[in-house]
């Protein structure tokens, strides 16, 4: 049995999760954040009564949107790259460089995931909440930890399944330029 169907199935599941579920969830939260902000501004400017907890809701929504986007950006290999030394590195070393960078990224994202899950448990045990709305922080931290873990999974899949290239069919511009140069 070949691993090719399993690889395609795994990538298609991740693609559905990232490009459909996470993207649509982020879009809905962005829309809700715009509505809350609109209500808050209208209430503050016209009725001298801002939306209670509006600032907290905006903070929570914004951090959720950022972390919902993390796995998508990771799977598309769209993180910021600083390639100061790339022109000086011989071509035969670059595949090994990509592997080393991938392993360092996996290690760092794994540590972040672990720390965020640890923090989620801690905020749950302490019953930490926001000041005005009393929204439990552990929900937000759990979302952050889960999204960072999904980003880690996509990094592992990129390293072992696509050799550091984007996971999905829609490649980033930098990836297309690299293929054109080859």
Give a yes or no: residue 125 inside a domain: yes
- Residue numbers of the domain that contains 117: 4-80+91-168
Buried b (16+ CB within 10 A) or exposed e, 84-120: eeeeeeeeeeeeeeeeeebeebbeebeebbeebbebb
Residue 33: which residues within 8 A CB-CB, separation 6 or more? Answer: 57, 58, 61, 62, 65
Residue 14: which residues within 8 A CB-CB, separation 6 or more? Answer: 75, 153, 154, 157, 167, 168
DSSP structural state of residue 129: B
Give a yes or no: residue 181 inside a domain: no
Q: Which helix (H) or strand (E) holds 69?
A: helix 54-75
Tens digits of residue pLDDT in 74-129? 888 887 878 787 788 888 888 888 888 889 999 999 999 999 999 999 999 999 99
Domains in the chain, number: 1
Q: Is the dihedral of CA 25, 28, 32, 37 positive or negative?
A: positive
Give a yes or no: residue 85 inside a domain: no
Tens digits of residue pLDDT in 22-78? 889 999 999 999 999 999 999 999 998 888 888 899 999 999 999 999 998 988 888
Give a yes or no: residue 175 inside a domain: no
Give a yes or no: residue 143 inside a domain: yes
- Model pTM score: 0.81
Quick check: 12 pLDDT over 60? yes
What pLDDT was estimated at residue 43? 92
CA distance linking residue 12 with residue 4, whole number of Å: 12
Residue 146: which residues within 8 A CB-CB, separation 6 or more? Answer: none
Scanning 76-136, the segments in alpha helix (DSSP H) are 94-126
CA distance linking residue 170 with residue 46, whole number of Å: 46
What pLDDT was estimated at residue 14? 77
Give a yes or no: residue 176 inside a domain: no
Residue 128: which residues within 8 A CB-CB, separation 6 or more? Answer: 136, 137, 138
Both tokens of 150, joined, read: 């999904």
């Amino acid at each position: 049995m070949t691993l090719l169907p399993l690889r395609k199935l795994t990538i298609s599941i991740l693609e559905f999760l990232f490009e459909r579920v996470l993207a649509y969830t982020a879009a809905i939260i962005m829309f809700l954040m715009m509505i809350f902000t609109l209500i808050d501004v209208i209430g503050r400017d016209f009725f001298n009564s801002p939306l209670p907890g509006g600032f907290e809701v905006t903070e929570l929504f914004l951090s959720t949107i950022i972390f919902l986007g993390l796995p998508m950006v990771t799977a598309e290999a769209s993180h910021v790259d600083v390639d100061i030394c790339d022109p000086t590195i011989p071509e035969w070393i670059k595949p090994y460089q990509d592997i080393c960078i991938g392993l360092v990224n996996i290690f760092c994202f794994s540590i972040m995931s672990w720390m965020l899950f640890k923090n989620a448990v801690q905020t749950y045990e302490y019953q930490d909440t926001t000041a005005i709305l009393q929204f439990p922080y552990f929900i937000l931290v759990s979302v952050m930890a889960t999204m960072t873990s999904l980003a880690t999974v996509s990094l592992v899949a990129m390293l072992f399944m696509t050799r550091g290239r984007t996971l999905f069919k829609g490649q980033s511009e930098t990836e297309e330029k690299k293929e054109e140069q080859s």
